[in-house]
Amino acid sequence: PCVVGEWSHWSGCAEQCQPDLRIRRRYVQQEPKNGGEPCPALEEKAGCLEYLTYQGEDCGHEHVPAFITTSEYGKERKRRAASSLWPSDKEAAGYCVEFKTESLSHHCALENRPYARWMQYLREGHTVCVACQPPAMSTDTHRCSGDGHNADGGKILHWEAVGNSQCQGTWKKIRQLEHCSCPLVHSFIFT
């Protein structure tokens, strides 16, 4: 069978203060012979974000991931809103952000717990709608964390599914709208 060495240490983030990739590798020590077991993956990639510049200054906090959950949860949230700090006239003060999914971990497709099945519908290349509503919306800025407010369309942003931190990925912001209009399976809310 194929024999491979140990994984190298993870490389550092290629760039400071913005989401990027880090890599680790291992090398073949013995090629498979006579129909022996083939070699496993020799490279792994993972997202990373450095919060300090090379000079030690704090940065990168605007790149916290967007934490999302199914839009169904938003309906439950509205029922509880009667007792919230938000006046009811501000209840409609939310907005919607459309993103195009770029990548996602395979853990999303493996999710089969009843309350988390919505993660199975995440797909690369699809347009998704994410609503920003109270109480996820900051009372100061009237924005949701991770909404890509200052991001242009080419910037890669990170998201993570609430309830399964291994279901995560990247997307690019398409536009901000007043109301979401995606199919239910592609509709989410910031949390």
Residue 38: per-residue pLDDT:
94
Helices (H), strands (E): how many in the chain? Answer: 2, 10
Residue 1: per-residue pLDDT:
95
Local mean pLDDT, 10-residue blocks, the chain (191 residues): 92 72 89 94 75 68 76 64 49 82 91 86 93 84 84 82 88 92 91 86
- pLDDT, tens only, 163-173: 888 899 999 99
Q: In terms of Cα–Cα distance, which of 99, 152, 151, 97 is closest to 127?
A: 99
- pLDDT, tens only, 37-68: 999 989 877 666 666 677 777 665 556 788 88
Residue 140: per-residue pLDDT:
77
Residue 186: per-residue pLDDT:
92
Q: Where are the domains of the chain?
A: 3-190
Residue 132: per-residue pLDDT:
92
Q: What share of the chain is helix, strand, coil (3-state, %, to 5)?
A: 15, 30, 50
Residue 47: per-residue pLDDT:
65
Kindly give the residue spans of alpha helices, DSSP state H, lying in the chain: 72-80, 107-110
Task: Please tell me what DSSP assigns to residue 86.
Answer: S
Contacts of 84 (CB under 8 A, 6+ apart): 134, 135
- Residue for token digits 């199914």? 70
Residue 4: per-residue pLDDT:
96
